[in-house]
Amino acid sequence: MAYSIDFFNVGVQTEVEGWPAGVNASFVRIAEQMVESGPNLGLPYTRPLGEGLFEIRAKGEEGIGRAFFCTLVGRRIVILHGFIKKTQQIPPKEMKIARKRLKEVQRG
């Protein structure tokens, strides 16, 4: 049975779809694989960040994109937040947004 992928809101979808072409194509390939096989693809594609938060690690010639997601009952994957990575570490600001949205989704 396949998984479904939803975006937290239209803004998140617009952000991810606006990534450079190569990075966006990488995201789409990983997302399609998650729909078929589930979210636990492992490195280099996905990685757990703790407390039910995970990241999609999209990479293209133009750079690196990160999309945070969680999973919900009923095989639903929710993309909580996305950004283009410019530093080695995940910026605290981006992590804070993802964790706040994770709490909102978990509360229903």
62: confidence class by pLDDT, cuts 50, 70, 90: very high
Q: What is the mean pLDDT of residues 36-65?
A: 96
In the chain, the domains with their CATH numbers are 4-107 (3.30.2310)
Q: Would the pLDDT of 73 be above 90?
A: no
What are the E-state strand segments in the chain?
A: 4-7, 46-50, 53-60, 63-72, 76-85
Q: What is the mean pLDDT of residues 41-54?
A: 96
Q: Would the pLDDT of 47 be above 90?
A: yes
Closest CA to 12 of 79, 62, 57: 79
Model confidence pLDDT, tens digit, residues 10-34:
999 999 999 999 999 999 999 999 9
pTM check: above 0.75:
yes
Share of the chain above pLDDT 70, in %: 100
